[in-house]
Amino acid sequence: MFAAMSNLAPVQSIKVDTDRAEVHFAIGGYWTREAMDKFLFDLGTAAKPFWKEGRAFNSLGDLSEFVAQSRETADAIRESLLLAQKNGMKRFAVVAPPAMVKLQYRRLTEGLDAEFFENETEALAWLR
């Protein structure tokens, strides 16, 4: 079954919990490589205070409205995850990805301390 066209428009939000050293984001829709690069730059900017201080951090990504991406866009995500790990990201909790996204993200998070969860409560318990 195909997602409605309105569900394919890229949407995103980023929040930082400095006390807990966490970067939370929600992302949805289908992304071009250029749009994803901009989002990933913004995500890196949000995490920058942690890695500038040499402080480890965790990430939580709500992918409940995300769809499987092109190989080029997926490669940008993988590169960003590896860079985040290099710069201090310890754990990555993925919340409620649709089945196809979960399959793609299993490949993208290979070698990272990443887990998949049905809801944010379970994801936060694991992160913390």
pLDDT at 2: 35
C-alpha to C-alpha distances, 95 to 49, 72, 77, 86, 121, nearest whole angstrom: 24, 23, 16, 22, 9
**Domain at 18-127: CATH architecture:** 2-Layer Sandwich (3.30)
Coil, strand or helix at 31: coil
Positions of E strands within the chain: 11-17, 22-29, 57-66, 89-95, 114-117
pLDDT at 57: 98
- 91 secondary structure, DSSP code: E
Per-residue confidence in pLDDT tens, the chain, 128 aa: 334 445 689 999 999 999 999 999 999 999 999 999 999 999 999 999 999 999 999 999 999 999 999 999 999 999 999 999 999 999 999 999 899 999 999 999 999 999 999 999 999 999 99
pLDDT at 111: 95
pLDDT at 7: 67
Cβ distance 61 to 96 under 8 Å? no
